[in-house]
Each structure stands twice: as structure tokens, then as C-alpha cells.
């Protein structure tokens, strides 16, 4: 009985040491992965990397990690226009089946899904900010975006000018749908604003109310999947396969 007790104590001690070693190893690996991702994606700040699953050391021995979560704050995504970026807030991605090279210089996830938010202030930068003629004597521009409720964006359009001799200075609102079209966030008015009995040319008005925003070169090659208007901006979901984390 004494020998059995000693064996059990040793098993408990060794198990505890293994758990400690495993947690130390995963903490070190998370730091190394975060630094590598920051360098690879040229990020302004170090991302959060969390390696899921236990034990970590047996996953390493198998050459693949089951689940890795990555969090990036304030990611500056390319827009397809030279020198212009759009800030994506709180990009959270869940990577599945992450394989890595023997020297850990490269890592690739079999699949990835994630979420992020683009504020209305950032999206507004895409809208036409210069006054554009919408009818003889009248000009308009988008001056604000906000939550319109029920998954819609409220687009505020400021109209100025004169109709005959009557001055016009009004802000109209239209509800718009937001979707992903050809890998771009597209805002499209459900109906056009009306200004008393004045006829506004539809193509001219839509040239102001409707717009697209390209979002290119997301981390690891993930792509836009869906978009939904929310309280503080548009919530997007992303997905990808063979997503490169490093190397």
C-alpha cells in the first residue's frame, strides 16, 4: 500500500509539472506567434494570440494546433486607392487546423472565420463628400451615416442651392441596405430622398447616396463574407481557407 501511495504521489507531482511546463510553453509560443504576425502583417501594435486546447505540447509534437484565436485592434486595411486605408476595429479571427514548419518560421490555418467592425465615421470617408449637382441650381452631399434600425443604414444628405429664387438648405435622410458585392462593402438606398415637388434625377442622386468600399489585403488572405448595419458601425464577418499566419 505504501508503494502504491508513493507511486500515486509521484504521478500527481509529475502531472502537475507537466501542466506547468505545458502552460509555460504555450505562453511562450503565443508571444512568439504574436510578434511574428505583427512583423508579417506590418501591424502598428502587437496582436493578441491565444492557442486553445490542452495539452499544447502534444499538439506541437503532432505538427498542428487545433484552434488559434487572433485579435487585432485598429487594423488599417487597403482600399484599392493608393495611399488610402480604412480602419477596421477589433478584428477577431478563429483559426482551425494550424500547421507549422519544423523551424516555426511559417504557419498556415486550414480554415478561419472571424468578425470585425467598421465605424460609420470610417465608412463615411468613402461617400461623396464634395457637393454634386442633383437638379438645376441644387447640390447635395452625404454628411452622415448612422444606424437606421432593422439592419439598415441611415444616410444623411445635405441639399443646398436655389429653386428659382427660393433658397434651399435642408438635410434629408434615406434608409439604405448594406451588402457585400464583388468583395466590396456596398451601401444602396432603398428609396431616394424627395424634396417637395422638385424632380431629382435618379442617377444623379444615386451617384451620391450609393457607394462602395473595397477592403483589400486582410490578414492572412481572409476575405469579406457578410456585413450587417449595427449601432456604432457595420459589423462584418470574414472567412478563409489556407490562411497564412506567418512566413
| Tens-digit pLDDT profile for residues 149-159 | 999 999 998 88
Distance CA 155, CA 200 (A): 17
Q: What is the pLDDT of residue 196?
A: 55
- Flag residues of the chain having pLDDT under 70: 1-22, 102-105, 194-201, 246-247
pLDDT tens digits, 70-95: 999 888 888 777 778 889 988 999 98
- For the residues of 49-104, what is the DSSP string, one character each? EEE-SS-HHHHHHHTEEEEEEEEESSEEEE-SSTT-EEEEEEEEEEEEEEEE-TTS
Q: What is the pLDDT of residue 54?
A: 76
Q: What is the pLDDT of residue 233?
A: 93
User: Residue 237 in contact with residue 114, Cβ under 8 Å?
Assistant: yes
Query: Is the sign of the CA dihedral 189, 190, 192, 193 positive or negative?
Result: negative
Amino acid at each position: 500500500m505504501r508503494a502504491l501511495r508513493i507511486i500515486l504521489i509521484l504521478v500527481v507531482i509529475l502531472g502537475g509539472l507537466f501542466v506547468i511546463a505545458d502552460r509555460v510553453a504555450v505562453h511562450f509560443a503565443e508571444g512568439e506567434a504574436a510578434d511574428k504576425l505583427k512583423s508579417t502583417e506590418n501591424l502598428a501594435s502587437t496582436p493578441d494570440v491565444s492557442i486553445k486546447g490542452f495539452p499544447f505540447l502534444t499538439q506541437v509534437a503532432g505538427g498542428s494546433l487545433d484552434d488559434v484565436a487572433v485579435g487585432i485592434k485598429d487594423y488599417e486595411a487597403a482600399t484599392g486607392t493608393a495611399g488610402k486605408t480604412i480602419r477596421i476595429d477589433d478584428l477577431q479571427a478563429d483559426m482551425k487546423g494550424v500547421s507549422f514548419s519544423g523551424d516555426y518560421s511559417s504557419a498556415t490555418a486550414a480554415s478561419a472565420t472571424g468578425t470585425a467592425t467598421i465605424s460609420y465615421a470610417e465608412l463615411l470617408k468613402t461617400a461623396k463628400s464634395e457637393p454634386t449637382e442633383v437638379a438645376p441650381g441644387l447640390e447635395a452631399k452625404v454628411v452622415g451615416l448612422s444606424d437606421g434600425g432593422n439592419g439598415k443604414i441611415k444616410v444623411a444628405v445635405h441639399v443646398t442651392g436655389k429653386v428659382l429664387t427660393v433658397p434651399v438648405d435642408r438635410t434629408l435622410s434615406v434608409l439604405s441596405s448594406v451588402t457585400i458585392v464583388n468583395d466590396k462593402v456596398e451601401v444602396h438606398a432603398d428609396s431616394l430622398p424627395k424634396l417637395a415637388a422638385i424632380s431629382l434625377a435618379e442617377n444623379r442622386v444615386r451617384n451620391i447616396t450609393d457607394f462602395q468600399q473595397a477592403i483589400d489585403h486582410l490578414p492572412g488572405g481572409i476575405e469579406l463574407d457578410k456585413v450587417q448595419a449595427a449601432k456604432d458601425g457595420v459589423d462584418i464577418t470574414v472567412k478563409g481557407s489556407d490562411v497564412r499566419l506567418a512566413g
